[in-house]
Amino acid sequence: MESETSLIIGKLILYCLPLVLLLFFSKITQRHFKRQHSAIKLPDLLVPFLILGIHILSELTYGFSVIPYFLIFIFSLGIVVLLVIAAKKGEILYKSFFKTYWRFVFISSILAYYSLVTANVIMT
């Protein structure tokens, strides 16, 4: 009985952690990096943890990792973003490309993460 309770609590923490971090620590990290004269925001820092969460959730849900497929998707997304920026502006500015690309990676990873959360809840 105790192991089931701790497993449920662990899953709830895994499910809610990105949202809790975004809601409660966004202002704190923004103030910290503003003092450092940097444009880094909390979503920029969350991407590696979301990718790790995608790996863990896909292993729990499907029994295999979807990370290779996700990496192919985000690398393909990078090529598309690069081509769109090059066609639109006529040149490639690496700073704006990486900033735009990394934000798209964050959006993709948060969508994949919560899609896996939904699949895990449905499967169990």
Question: Which of 14-18, 32-36, 80-84 has the least mean pLDDT?
Answer: 32-36
Question: What's residue 74's pLDDT?
Answer: 95
Q: How many CB atoms lie within 10 A of CB 30?
A: 14
Question: What's residue 83's pLDDT?
Answer: 93
Confidence of residue 90 (pLDDT cuts 50, 70, 90): confident
Confidence of residue 71 (pLDDT cuts 50, 70, 90): very high
- Give me the chain's average pLDDT, please: 83
Model confidence, pTM: 0.79
Question: What's residue 9's pLDDT?
Answer: 72
Query: pLDDT of 24-40, one tens digit each?
Result: 766 666 666 666 666 66
Q: How many CB atoms lie within 10 A of CB 18?
A: 20
Confidence of residue 109 (pLDDT cuts 50, 70, 90): very high
pLDDT at residue 51 tops 60: yes
Q: Which residues contact 64 (CB under 8 A, 6 or more apart)?
A: 58
What whole-number distance in Å separates Cα of residue 37 and Cα of residue 92?
24
Averaged pLDDT for residues 32-59: 79
* HSE of 20, CA atoms in CB hemisphere, 13 A: 6
- 10 Å CB burial of residue 94 (0-12, 13-18, 19+) is exposed
Per the structure block, which two tokens stand in for 53? 């969460």
What whole-number distance in Å separates Cα of residue 41 and Cα of residue 85?
22
